[in-house]
């Protein structure tokens, strides 16, 4: 069913939503408004979607909403009259101003917001910079972000250094460090105040095989200097975990380079592949599966690639079930490697390696290619220890049929020209194999010949495995098995049957390439003063959801300058660091920063306990500035200089400027109408819960809580529940008391005020009893000011109270009973204002006034001073400058909001 959304009294914010059961005429629509003054109905104008409807047609023109098309009916009253004051029907009607009725086919959306802005169509236009709230579907959060004097401290789509997906525990086992790897060109998080943060990885985790253990290392980082405390893995303090090493450099000027992690790396795990063995006939081991083309049943090369110009490449080969024969004995798996620089056709062969083991226990070895020359003596390797125990620079072709198959020759770079062409534990000092080192957990190939192995470009590497062989049946010096020289990578033919060299189906010998790492021997963080970094090494442990309690260092005020480097949650210090610090590309010159306003704000935040604690990343300067300012109940101010305007209680402050129709024209008001809310669901990171996500519900009416009409607002800059509740209540009050915007054009006098200043406004649109003029003459008697002559008339109300009236039916205006008139005088040269009560007079419109009590002339009381009149103690409306838009003719359009002292009660 269509709905009629009716807005009455633009100041009171009341909306009525009614079902529309039939087409209604214009006359019926206005008749539905049961509390409109008869004078308004008599003088208003009707429009449908902006088109005027003659009054004679109101009973005949009917509006019918349809799907996809909204019908807007407005009733507005053009401004009547002008001049310096007066009362009458015009002022009564202007207290109503306008109503707007929207007939919609579904629900009230942005069209309604635009209509309600236009409901003051007889009074002005939508203020630029404010009109964008009409696209927020009347949500309070979006409205406050654009239109509030101090918007909520929120960041849209903010991750808060969100943890990577994974378990919330740390477990023993394979070593790993998880987190979000910082992509090239992406921003680092920065902590404002203090907050728990999940820092991104500056370097991809590097896993090194050390004996039977896996050791992972990585570096996490934050933008700029930070105090780092309380590292956690999930919900577990890292200090309680074994086999975890941490080094922290906070990024301060005296920070040294990290010593725990000193190299850069990139690890590719997407290449993980099981190395293909011989394909054996399951019923007749070692017969090959393909007897027609036996080459199809042989092991295949597995290809991987390095990154560009590495210093080292590590290839991790895993044996997930260990190596053990079907009888429980020790076996070995032979491996061959070859490599070439991308773009070259010829391969360079490396020595053949034999990996020995005799346990059903998973283990890994590393094949390390090192672009340097070896140093030190060749280590002795014991076969019983397992691992890569033999290296062959040359292997002859087999002496069984088909003869000559399986020969292998490594590049001469790996042979001295004389001596045995095998390296093992028994001949390590006399072997001719060179540039190879064997360890229990790795084999190192030294590629120090720059002509043959240039350290540039990408290197393609291939690895192939052979058949697993019982170590006891193999002669390491003659490369024979059972007395015969057979290829362990090809096949032999026995009685016409193609088969592997030995039977192997019962062996546990699965081999996998699990990762390849390119290493550069350069420090990952060459300048330790630009980042706060945390180096982490873990052994046989998965360290998931790594976080730290970080506080961003900023320069705070030391009494004479912003020189005290410290961790503080005061918003003023963080805003100044944002504006003038070295973390941005274009810091502001200090002479463009209004330090006076920042210092006043700093003191105000200390007095009121305002803090900002947040994690920001990937946000603009303005996003972050608004977050900081919102946490301190302020808004960024930038004109000639950059500072803040503080949203505070100004009840005891005088206005810096007075505006009336005598110095401001085109006065208008508009109102931002939010959808009716029963409260705010305030989401925030709770400090008491170790900065986990939390929420509280703040009801608009605590005595009548209603959870059916809540709006969620993220308070990203606040971490204390009490502060969040106070801010949510403040925002609900802003929606009630400070979403009316007043706008007018002022002359050169506009330069007296700037955004955030308290000003006074008097206008007959705002009050029935309003007057304004300029002084023509000051009347003095006995050196005392007794009265003034004015260049226009002002209204005067001076009535006895209700209990002094003999007959109430003889009273013309009940609401004027007891009225007194006050006169505000704006003194010259910014000397402030004086307010005096006017004496009674027989006339109600005066161009000459007398004061009830004469007074000594204050400095600055001169002819041409501006005056404003109104009910005593209500001579003007106290408003705050929301924005100033200069024009080319030295005028400016000024937008104002209500002072709203209720916000601070």
DSSP per-residue string spanning 29-55: HHHT-TT--HHHHHH-EEEETTEEE-G
Cβ proximity of 268 and 204 under 8 Å: no
Q: Mean pLDDT throughout 115-126?
A: 30
Which residues are paired to 892 by β-bridges?
746, 886
pLDDT at 321 over 90: yes
Q: Mean pLDDT throughout 136-165?
A: 63
Question: Tell me, what's the pLDDT at 799?
Answer: 58
What does the chain come to in residues? 905
Q: Which of 273, 414, 411 is nearest to 339 (CA)?
A: 411
Non-local (6+) Cβ contacts of 267 within 8 A are: 204, 205, 206, 207, 515, 516, 517, 518
CA–CA gap between residue 357 and residue 363 (Å, rounded): 9
Strand, helix or coil for residue 416: coil
Question: Tell me, what's the pLDDT at 780?
Answer: 94
Question: Tell me, what's the pLDDT at 905?
Answer: 81
Question: Tell me, what's the pLDDT at 633?
Answer: 95
- Percent of the chain at pLDDT above 90? 56
Confidence bin at 383 (pLDDT 50/70/90)? very low
Question: Tell me, what's the pLDDT at 181?
Answer: 66
Question: Tell me, what's the pLDDT at 540?
Answer: 92
CA-based angle 718:720:725, to the nearest 5? 85
Looking at per-residue confidence, does 606 or 734 come out higher? 606
pLDDT digits (tens, 9 = 90+) for 607-649: 999 999 999 988 888 889 999 999 999 999 887 789 999 999 9
Cβ proximity of 677 and 574 under 8 Å: no
Q: Which of 150, 7, 4 is nearest to 670 (CA)?
A: 7
Cβ proximity of 361 and 399 under 8 Å: no
Non-local (6+) Cβ contacts of 605 within 8 A are: 570, 571, 572, 611, 632
Mean pLDDT comparison of 356-360, 509-513, 875-879, highest-scoring range: 509-513
CA distances from 601 to 144, 595, 880 (A): 21, 10, 17
Q: How far apart are the first and last CA of the chain?
A: 43
Mean of per-residue pLDDT scores for the chain: 83
CA–CA gap between residue 690 and residue 683 (Å, rounded): 15
pLDDT at 13 over 50: no
Q: Mean pLDDT throughout 700-716?
A: 88
Q: Which of 692, 647, 656, 661 is nearest to 904 (CA)?
A: 647
pLDDT at 127 over 50: no
Mean pLDDT comparison of 186-190, 527-531, 711-715, highest-scoring range: 711-715
Q: Mean pLDDT throughout 576-587?
A: 85
pLDDT digits (tens, 9 = 90+) for 353-367: 999 988 889 999 999
- Percent of the chain at pLDDT above 70? 82
pLDDT at 91 over 50: no
Cβ proximity of 207 and 215 under 8 Å: yes
Strand, helix or coil for residue 735: helix
pLDDT at 670 over 90: no
CA 3 to the chain's CA centroid:
38
Cβ proximity of 148 and 215 under 8 Å: no
Q: Mean pLDDT throughout 815-820?
A: 62
pLDDT at 589 over 70: yes
Confidence bin at 748 (pLDDT 50/70/90)? confident
CA-based angle 180:185:188, to the nearest 5? 50
Please state which of the ranges 151-155, 305-309, 334-338, 555-559 shows the lowest mean pLDDT.
Answer: 151-155
pLDDT at 707 over 90: no
Cβ proximity of 634 and 575 under 8 Å: no
pLDDT at 729 over 50: yes
Q: Mean pLDDT throughout 642-664?
A: 92
Looking at per-residue confidence, does 465 or 638 come out higher? 465
Q: Mean pLDDT throughout 442-452?
A: 95
Looking at per-residue confidence, does 813 or 160 come out higher? 813
Q: Which of 735, 285, 774, 295 is nearest to 501 (CA)?
A: 285
Cβ proximity of 705 and 677 under 8 Å: no
Q: Mean pLDDT throughout 164-168?
A: 39
Q: Mean pLDDT throughout 724-733?
A: 94
Q: Mean pLDDT throughout 681-694?
A: 94
CA distances from 614 to 154, 165, 299, 552, 691 (A): 10, 21, 56, 10, 10
Strand, helix or coil for residue 758: strand
pLDDT at 746 over 60: yes
Q: Mean pLDDT throughout 307-314?
A: 96
Cβ proximity of 54 and 48 under 8 Å: no
CA–CA gap between residue 866 and residue 675 (Å, rounded): 40
């Amino acid at each position: 069913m269509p709905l009629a959304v009716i807005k009455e009294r633009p100041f009171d914010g009341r909306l009525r939503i009614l079902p529309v059961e039939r087409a209604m005429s214009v006359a019926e629509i206005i008749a539905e408004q049961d509390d409109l003054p008869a004078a308004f109905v008599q003088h208003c104008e009707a429009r449908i979607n902006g088109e005027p409807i003659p009054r004679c047609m109101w009973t005949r023109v009917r509006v019918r909403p349809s799907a996809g098309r909204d019908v807007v009916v407005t009733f507005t009253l053009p401004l009547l009259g002008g001049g310096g004051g007066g009362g009458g029907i015009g002022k009564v009607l202007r207290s109503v101003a306008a109503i707007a009725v929207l007939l919609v086919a579904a629900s009230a959306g942005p069209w309604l917001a635009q209509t309600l802005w236009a409901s003051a169509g007889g009074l002005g236009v939508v203020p630029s910079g404010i009109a964008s709230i009409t696209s927020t579907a009347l949500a309070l959060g979006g409205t406050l972000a654009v239109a509030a004097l101090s918007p909520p401290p929120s960041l849209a789509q903010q991750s808060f250094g969100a943890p990577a997906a994974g378990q919330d525990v740390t477990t023993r086992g394979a070593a790993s460090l998880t987190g979000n790897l910082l992509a090239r060109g992406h921003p680092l998080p920065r902590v404002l105040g203090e907050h728990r943060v999940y820092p991104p990885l500056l370097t991809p985790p590097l896993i090194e095989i050390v004996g039977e253990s896996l050791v992972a290392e990585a570096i996490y980082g934050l933008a700029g200097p930070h105090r780092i405390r309380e590292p956690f893995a999930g919900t577990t303090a890292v200090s309680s975990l074994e086999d975890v090493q941490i080094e922290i450099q906070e990024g301060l000027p005296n920070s040294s380079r990290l010593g725990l992690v000193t190299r850069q790396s990139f690890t590719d795990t997407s290449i993980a592949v099981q190395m293909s063995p011989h394909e054996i006939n399951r019923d007749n081991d070692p017969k090959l599966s393909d007897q027609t083309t036996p080459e199809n049943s042989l092991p295949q090369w597995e290809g991987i690639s390095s990154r560009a110009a590495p210093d080292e490449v590590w290839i991790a080969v895993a044996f997930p079930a260990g190596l053990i024969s079907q009888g429980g004995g020790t076996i070995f798996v032979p491996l061959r490697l070859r490599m070439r620089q991308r773009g070259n056709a010829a391969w360079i062969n490396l020595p053949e390696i034999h990996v020995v083991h005799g346990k059903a226990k998973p283990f890994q070895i590393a094949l390390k290619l090192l672009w340097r020359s070896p140093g030190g003596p060749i280590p002795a390797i014991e076969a019983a220890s397992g691992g890569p125990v033999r290296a062959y620079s040359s292997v002859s072709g087999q002496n069984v049929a088909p003869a000559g198959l399986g020969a292998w020759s490594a590049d001469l770079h790996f042979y001295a020209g004389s001596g045995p062409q095998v390296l093992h534990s028994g001949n390590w000092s006399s072997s001719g194999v060179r540039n190879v080192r064997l360890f229990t957990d790795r084999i190192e190939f030294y590629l120090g010949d720059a002509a043959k192995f240039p350290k540039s470009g990408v290197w393609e590497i291939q690895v192939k495995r052979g058949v697993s062989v019982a170590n006891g049946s193999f002669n390491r010096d003659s490369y024979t098995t059972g007395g015969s020289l057979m290829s362990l990578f090809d096949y032999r033919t026995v009685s016409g049957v193609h088969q592997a060299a030995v039977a192997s189906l019962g062996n546990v010998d699965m081999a996998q390439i699990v990762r390849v790492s390119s290493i550069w021997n350069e420090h990952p963080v060459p300048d330790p003063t630009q980042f706060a970094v945390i180096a982490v090494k873990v052994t046989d442990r998965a360290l998931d959801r790594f976080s730290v309690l970080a506080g961003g260092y900023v320069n705070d005020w030391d009494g004479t300058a912003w020189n005290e480097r410290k961790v503080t949650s005061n918003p003023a210090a963080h805003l100044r660091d944002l504006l003038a610090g070295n973390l941005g590309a274009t810091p502001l010159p200090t002479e463009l920063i209004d330090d006076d306003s920042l210092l006043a704000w700093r003191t105000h935040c200390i007095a009121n306990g305002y803090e900002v604690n947040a994690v920001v990343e990937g946000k603009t300067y303005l996003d972050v500035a608004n977050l900081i300012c919102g946490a301190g109940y302020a808004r960024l101010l930038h004109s000639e200089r950059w500072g803040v305007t503080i949203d505070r209680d100004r009840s005891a402050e005088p206005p810096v400027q007075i505006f009336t129709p005598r110095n401001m024209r085109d006065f208008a008001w508009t109102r931002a109408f939010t959808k009716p809310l029963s409260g705010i669901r305030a989401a925030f990171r709770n400090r008491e819960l170790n900065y986990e996500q939390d929420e509280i519900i703040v009801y608009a009416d605590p005595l009548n809580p209603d959870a059916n009409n809540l709006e969620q607002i993220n308070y990203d800059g606040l971490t204390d529940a009490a502060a969040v509740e106070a801010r949510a209540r403040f925002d609900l009050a802003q929606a009630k008391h400070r979403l009316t915007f007043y706008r007018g054009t002022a002359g050169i006098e506009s330069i007296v005020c700037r955004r955030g200043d308290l000003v006074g406004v008097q206008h007959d649109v705002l009050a029935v009893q309003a007057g304004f003029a300029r002084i023509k003459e000051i009347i003095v008697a006995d050196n005392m000011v007794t009265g003034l002559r004015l260049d226009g008339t002002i209204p005067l109300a001076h009535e006895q109270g209700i209990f002094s009236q003999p007959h109430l039916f003889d009273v013309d205006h009940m609401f004027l009973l007891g009225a007194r008139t006050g006169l505000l005088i704006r003194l010259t040269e910014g000397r402030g204002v004086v307010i005096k009560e006017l004496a009674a007079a027989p006339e109600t419109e005066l161009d000459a006034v007398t004061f009830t009590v004469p007074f000594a002339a204050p400095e600055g009381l001169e002819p041409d001073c501006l005056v404003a009149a109104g009910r005593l103690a209500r001579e003007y409306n106290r408003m705050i400058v929301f924005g100033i838009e200069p024009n080319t003719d030295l005028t400016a359009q000024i937008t104002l909001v209500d002072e709203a002292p209720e916000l601070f009660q």
